[in-house]
A = this chain, B = another copy of it.
Amino acid sequence: MDGSPHRIDRAALKTGRDVRRACRAGEFSGATSGLAPGFAQANLVVLPADLAGDFLRFCQRNPKPCPLLGVSDPGATDLPDLAADLDLRTDLPGYRLWRGGELIAEPEDVREWWRADLVAFAIGCSYTFEAALLAEGMTLRHVAAGSEVPMFATNIDCAPAGKFFGHMVVSMRPFRPAEAIRAVQITSRFPFVHGAPVHIGLPEMIGIKDLARPDYGAPVPVLADELPVFWACGVTPQAVIAAMRPPFAITHQPGRMLVLDLPDHRCAVL
């Protein structure tokens, strides 16, 4: 272990299984964007079982930011419908540990913190619809720049459920108007990975004051002939955890996703 985040060539990580095994072996801890092309990735949320029912209802009521791809049995460390031979404690490149709504550590595995009462939630990730947009020849500015998509806290209230409440986080991609319309059509086919945008143009209407200062990720310019287009984002649960302060939670680190065996095309409803 040399401490570098890339101890294995990224080009060797062609499938979800490749990425998970490299993470488990301590050979990879970097960002997963562009890895295992054709395979869906997921946001991870892990909560004690006594909060899991509330969170499940929260996801059901907020399918745009929290589209559920899978939920583990309590204490289980796998999601057999989504990934073979999965160990949720080791197979992501990076985790976040939360206590009382505070981020307390960002480890590369969470074996020592795992508990028999934990339930894991795999939430769809925009990388799947980004692949569909790129396949149509569209340009994604943050991808061209090699940076993480800009994300913003909004004033859009999530529908509360039990102890869970908070504002939606959105990702932003700029498009010329005709491309924005096409992007609505393409992403509408993928409701399990955030689906259609939740907002277009007029960022101040959803409480975004400055597009140059995202709350997560890196800024990208919006040109004079472009509109900012906003999609619900799977980082929303992390904002919710910070707001409602559960005693304990584990999430992925933004950009360091759980890479699945699920093909991207299986996420399309049409």
Binding site for B on A (CB under 8 A): 176-178, 180-181, 184-185, 188, 196-202, 205, 225, 227, 270
Contact = CB atoms under 8 A, between A and B. Distances in A.
Contacts of A225: 202, 205
Between A177, A178, A198, A202, the greatest number of chain B beta carbons within 10 A of the residue's beta carbon is seen for: A177
Tell me what chain A mostly uses at the interface: helix, strand, loop, or mixed: mixed
A227 B200 contact: yes
Contacts of A198: 178, 181
Top 3 A-B pairs, shortest CB-CB distance? A184-B184, A177-B200, A177-B199
A178 B227 CA distance: 14
Contacts of A185: 184-185, 188, 196
A200 B202 contact: no
A199 B227 CA distance: 11
A199 B200 CA distance: 12
A270 B270 CA distance: 10
Nearest to A200: B177
A202 B199 CA distance: 16
Contact of A227 (B176, B188, B202, B270): B202
A181 B202 contact: no
A181 B205 contact: no
Contacts of A184: 181, 184-185, 196
Nearest to A226: B202
Nearest to A180: B200
A200 B199 CA distance: 12
A270 B181 CA distance: 18
A200 B188 contact: no
A176 to B, nearest CB: 8
B181 A201 contact: no
A185 to B, nearest CB: 5
A177 B196 contact: no
Contacts of A201: 177, 200-201, 227
A11 B185 CA distance: 37
A201 B205 CA distance: 15
Contacts of A227: 200-202
8 contacts: A177-B200, A177-B201, A181-B200, A184-B184, A184-B196, A185-B185, A200-B201, A202-B225
Nearest to A183: B184
